[in-house]
Each structure stands twice: as C-alpha cells, then as structure tokens.
Structure 1
Amino acid sequence: MDLDMAQVRAFLLAAEKLHFGRAAEELSISQQALSKRIARLESRLGRQLFDRNVQGVQLTEAGVRFLAPARQALTAANLAVAAVLEPYRPLRIDVWGHLYGPMRTLAHVAARTSELRLELGHGRDLPSVAAALLHGDIDAAFGRVHPPLPAGLTHRLVRLEPVDAILSADHPLATEPALRPEQLRDSVLWTPGALDRLDFLHRFAEHFEIRDHAEGANLGMDHFLADLAVDPSRFSLLPADVPLPDAPGIRLVPLVNPTPLYAWSLLWRGDGHPLLDALVSAFVAEAGRNRWLEYDPARDWLPEPSLTRSGEPVRR
C-alpha cells in the first residue's frame, strides 16, 4: 500500500492539535482540504483514525497505533528528499533558556569546528523546541532538558555550569565574598516568568526552602537586572560567566556548599541531519577539553541526575 505523505502530515498535525482547524492553519490549507486528506487516508487504510463529535476530535485505537509509525515514515520521507535536494543544507539548531545565554556555549563549540554549518533559531521554551524537532522543522536543539521529554528524542548532557546569586548592591548579603544557598531563605526569589514554568529556579526554591518569590515578564536582561537593582530584598540566579551589561547597583556573588550547577544538553531526533554526529562530537571534545562535566556531589547541587544518562557527569 502506497501512502500519500501529504495525507500522513495532515493526520500527524491533527493528532497533535486534536483540532482540525488549528492543524489546517499550520499547513496553510482550509479545514475542508485537511478533512478531505484525512478522509482519503482513512479510506485507503480501511480504518477510522479519528472520532469526531461536538467536543472535538480524538484518536481512535487504530489512530493511536498508526501515530508512531506515521511519524517515522514522514521523518524518513523528509530525509530522503533532503538527501537529494539539500545535501549541503546547514544544520538547523534552536536554543532556549535565553536569559542564561545558551549562545555562549554553542558559539564556542561552533568556532572550533569548521565543518559545522549552523542555521540558528530562538525557541521559546523546551516544549516548543521539542515539538519543532518532532515536526522536522529543526535538526537539533541546545538548552536545559527536564522531564517530561517526548518520546522519539535523544539528549546528551554536555555542560554543567556553576550558578551565582545575583542581587541588588543594597541587599544585606551583597558584600559577602560567597554565599551558601540556605542564606537566601529570607530573600525574595525574582523570576522572569511564572516560577512553576521555570524548572531550575523552581527546584532550587523547593530544595533550599526559599519561601518567597516575585515574578514579572521576561523582557530581556536589562529589564531583569533593573528590577533586581531597585529592590534590596530580591535575588535571582545566573550562570557565573554570563556576560552582563553595564548595570549599576548589581552584585554577582558565588554560591558554595553546595554550588548549584545548570545542566546544558543537546537534544535531537533519533535520526536526522548528516552533521549531527559532527555536532555531538564537537561538544564531547569541548566538554573534555574544558572539564565541563565535572561534578562533586559533596560540593555541588544538580537537580536532574535522572537526565544525565547520555553523557554522565565526571565526579571530581
């Protein structure tokens, strides 16, 4: 049986959105055209893939069984086309966690590897980047991975970066040469967004019993630092070597006993662009050269040990 990939793509988008209108909009076709593609696919398979009712659409048992193989078939078809038409296409890589400067590490690795031709993007968050990977819109991604992670994606831990406390120069602890995380319990954790959507900060607050927090919109580093500077009760966390703009009234203080580590990972589909192996190898080499994966559980705090299976931290 020959499958029409346009019909398969329509099915996959409808299965993800569970809404024919939104799936049709993403494909830039009418809802009627999308419905016809799915109906033809169902006719060809001899099975109903969706239950349609006034509440919307749901996958049938046959639709659930068809989902994963259909995604694999579309990925294979995209790769076959790319192998013929785009043998020299740059590797499309997205990043997230923008306040923590993911481009620093990516640029550092890319600069050492002449064969890496990268086309860079800017994802909003892990779920949106993961969806783009599964759709084939990008080839790889770089940021902090945390559960739940969709099936069909592979990740590798490539850097553990020490995190400092950043606070107003008027904060009572601003003159300390270093701080233990527990010393921040009476301060207010300032977050650029809802705390429950910022996994690293949420886990830090929970583990070290930071009781109070305040949040605002993520409007970039300048706005983030300005909000910290005007309130002597607030603090936040940033990787130690994030370049900061010239912001008066701000102190960056190292955290010790334990030092929190921010875990950066590569994320990709199980099969994909021919430059993926080179990208992974470049990160592995740079991690070894710069001792990026050193970790001492007696001195460091790492909130996601369950996600280090594809690149174990090196205990020092």
Structure 2
Amino acid sequence: MEFRHLRYFLVLAEELHFGRAAQRLAITQPPLSLNIQQLEASVGAQLFTRNSRGVQLTAAGQAFVPAARQLLERAGAAAREARDVAQGVVGSLQVGFAGTVLYRGLPQILKRFHAEHPQLRLVLHEMSSSDQLVDLMHDRLDVGFVHTPRVASGFSQVLVSRQSFVACLPGSHRLAKQRSIDLGAFAGEPFVAISRSVSPDYHDRILGLCADHGFLPEVRFELRHWLSVVSVVAQGLGVSLVPEALAMAGMPDARFIKLKGETPPYDTRCLWKTEREQAALGAFLAAVRGFAQPIE
C-alpha cells in the first residue's frame, strides 16, 4: 500500500465516477483503475462495486474512508514536521550552562533566540564546566556554556564574554568600604574557593594569583557553585575571589570590590561538536554570535 493509492481511493470515493476522479487527479482512467485494484489487493477486500449504474462504495470501502483520510493527514503532518526541523523552524536543543552565565550572556541570548524562533524549544541544564564537556562528548548536550580555556579537539567555540575577578567579602569586613584593594590584604584570611574538581583551571589560577601576592590562602571551604561561594562569604565565613558578574546576583551582605593590578580573565565560551549538523543549532549559534563581543 502506498500513499498514492490512498489519495486515488479518496478522490474516487468522493466522485464515485472514474472519469471525474481521473480528471481531478490529472491522470487517465487506466492508471486509476490499476491503482484501485492494487489497493484492494493490499487491503484484502473489495472497496468499490462497479456496474452499469456507476461506482459505489462497499461496506468495507465506507469503513476504509476515515482510516485512509487519517493516514494521509498523519503522513502530511509528519512530512511538515520533518521539513520544519530540517529548516530549523521547530525542534529542541539541549543546552548546558554554568551558573554565572545567568548574570552575563545567557538571558540576552535566550531573549534574542526566542524572539526569532518562537517554536524552537530549549531544555536548559545547569552544570559544571567539566560535566558539560562530558555530556557534549557523548551527545547528551547540543551546546554548552563553559568556563574553561581547555577545549578538546573536535569542538568549535565562540568566546562569548570576558570578565575580571573581584574580591568578595562580607559587608562587615574591615575592607568592605574600600574602592579597591590589594590582594595581599587577604593574607591570613579564611578563604572560600570554587572546588578544584568542578573548575580546576580557575581554582589553580586563583591560588596562583594569591601566591604571586606573597601568600597561600587558607582554604576553609570548597564549593561546587559560584553562588554558593558568595553565599558562604556573605555569612561572614571567609573571603574569596569571584567573577565580577556575580555582583548582579543581589546577595545580601556580600561586597564586591575591584582588585588592584591585573587578574586572570574569566572567560565564557560556547562549545559544540564541530561535526554536529543541525539547523536548530545553527539558529541558536547565530543568537550567540549576535551577543558575543570582539575580545582583544
């Protein structure tokens, strides 16, 4: 049974006349008769009676009409959906992101993307950069926003944003009202750090920066999320270095102060598998590139 057979059947069921049905289908009568015979053989039942008075549907033919119509409608809907997915009009993407992207980059990208592609669905997963890299490798994510300079081969990337680290300290801290501070002032202070297992690059960079200023921090707490770092600092349990975008988190009793001198940049990269071909992904990356600013 082919979809052509169903179309021919429904037209003949409406016209009940081979000549008129063939004319509607823009074919001659012999091919129409042959296709109806092929359909009846496939179904295993006679669908029409033919006599001198014309063509009539049998009981089996009458029962087959709604089923045939439904099959054609489903096939048409499936074809439209496949075409829309291929063109990037509908579908879904699995997007990973590290928490700080919520304060710089991701909201603007999402707003632009949904304005241009309202039928495309994004499933967001908040994950560490290291976990995203694993899921990207195994195709559990289509795209990810990570904070790591280490990008494996086989991936493409866009540098979305670059920000500085700032000092984060409790509102009650003796340095909380300073406009800028020297990192060396943190010597001997209890320190709150992002976990090395979650972000080894930035964990090591922060400790290295402290060493450059003449001290090794006394790390009292290691946490998996930057917002957790800020929360612990706000409770008066230590000081830290965090990406400057976290100042937008509105965490009570946390103060963010510029550091004197240079600090390593905190980069946000958008990653995806280079070989991955998907129209929806291309549409999303266009929104990412529309937000990303050239970085020297």
Query: What range describes the TM-score normalised by the shorter chain of this pair?
Result: 0.5 to 0.7
Q: Aligned partners of 2:140 and 2:122: how far apart in 1? A: 12
Q: Which amino acid aligns with 2:209?
A: H
Aligned to 1:108: 108
Aligned pairs (5 A) from 1:160-239: 160-194=162-196, 197-209=199-211, 210-212=215-217, 213-218=219-224, 221=227, 224-231=229-236, 233-239=238-244
Unaligned runs of 5+ in 2: 1-80
Query: Which fold has the larger relative contact order, with Cα–Cα distance below 8 Å and residues 6 or more apart in sequence?
Result: 2
User: 1:195 Cα shift?
Assistant: 7.0
The answer to which structure has the higher helix fraction is 2
> What is the count of residue pairs matched by the alignment?
205
1:245-270: per-residue Cα shift (whole Å, max 9, x none)? 4523x211122422543100010011
Quote the RMSD (CA, aligned, Å). Answer: 3.1
Q: Which amino acid aligns with 1:265?
A: R
User: 1:229 Cα shift?
Assistant: 3.3
Q: Aligned partners of 2:221 and 2:82: how far apart in 1? A: 47
Q: Aligned partners of 1:192 and 1:266: how far apart in 2? A: 21
TM-score normalised by L of structure 2: 0.58
User: 1:144 Cα shift?
Assistant: 1.0
Residues 159 and 265 of structure 1 are in contact (CA less than 8 Å); yes or no, is this contact kept in structure 2? Answer: yes
Residues 167 and 174 of structure 1 are in contact (CA less than 8 Å); yes or no, is this contact kept in structure 2? Answer: yes
Identity across matched positions, percent: 17
Residues 182 and 259 of structure 2 are in contact (CA less than 8 Å); yes or no, is this contact kept in structure 1? Answer: yes
TM-score normalised by L of structure 1: 0.55
Q: Aligned partners of 1:208 and 1:220: how far apart in 2? A: 18
User: 1:194 Cα shift?
Assistant: 4.1
Q: Which amino acid aligns with 1:215?
A: F
Q: 1:208 to 1:192 in 2, by over 3 A?
A: closer
Residues 196 and 203 of structure 2 are in contact (CA less than 8 Å); yes or no, is this contact kept in structure 1? Answer: no
Residues 94 and 125 of structure 2 are in contact (CA less than 8 Å); yes or no, is this contact kept in structure 1? Answer: no
Aligned to 1:134: 137
User: 1:120 Cα shift?
Assistant: 3.0
Residues 95 and 121 of structure 1 are in contact (CA less than 8 Å); yes or no, is this contact kept in structure 2? Answer: yes
Say which of 258, 269, 272 aligns to 2:273: 269
Say which of 260, 280, 287 aligns to 2:285: 280
Q: Aligned partners of 1:127 and 1:241: how far apart in 2? A: 20
Q: 1:242 to 1:86 in 2, by over 3 A?
A: farther
Q: 1:83 to 1:264 in 2, by over 3 A?
A: farther
User: 1:220 Cα shift?
Assistant: 7.6
Residues 129 and 141 of structure 1 are in contact (CA less than 8 Å); yes or no, is this contact kept in structure 2? Answer: yes
Residues 195 and 215 of structure 1 are in contact (CA less than 8 Å); yes or no, is this contact kept in structure 2? Answer: no
SS of the aligned residue for 2:191 comes to: strand
Say which of 258, 265, 285 aligns to 2:262: 258
Q: Aligned partners of 1:136 and 1:219: how far apart in 2? A: 24
1:78-110: per-residue Cα shift (whole Å, max 9, x none)? xxxx967954212221112x2x24464112122
Q: Which amino acid aligns with 2:262?
A: P
Residues 193 and 217 of structure 1 are in contact (CA less than 8 Å); yes or no, is this contact kept in structure 2? Answer: yes
Aligned to 2:71: none
1:165-202: per-residue Cα shift (whole Å, max 9, x none)? 11012333222101233443443330243478442132
Aligned pairs (5 A) from 1:1-316: 86-87=85-86, 88-96=90-98, 98=99, 100-102=100-102, 104-113=104-113, 114-116=115-117, 117-147=120-150, 149-194=151-196, 197-209=199-211, 210-212=215-217, 213-218=219-224, 221=227, 224-231=229-236, 233-240=238-245, 242-248=247-253, 250-270=254-274, 271-288=276-293, 293=294, 313-314=295-296
SS of the aligned residue for 1:93 comes to: strand
Q: Aligned partners of 1:143 and 1:251: how far apart in 2? A: 25
Q: Which amino acid aligns with 1:154?
A: S
Q: Which amino acid aligns with 1:175?
A: K
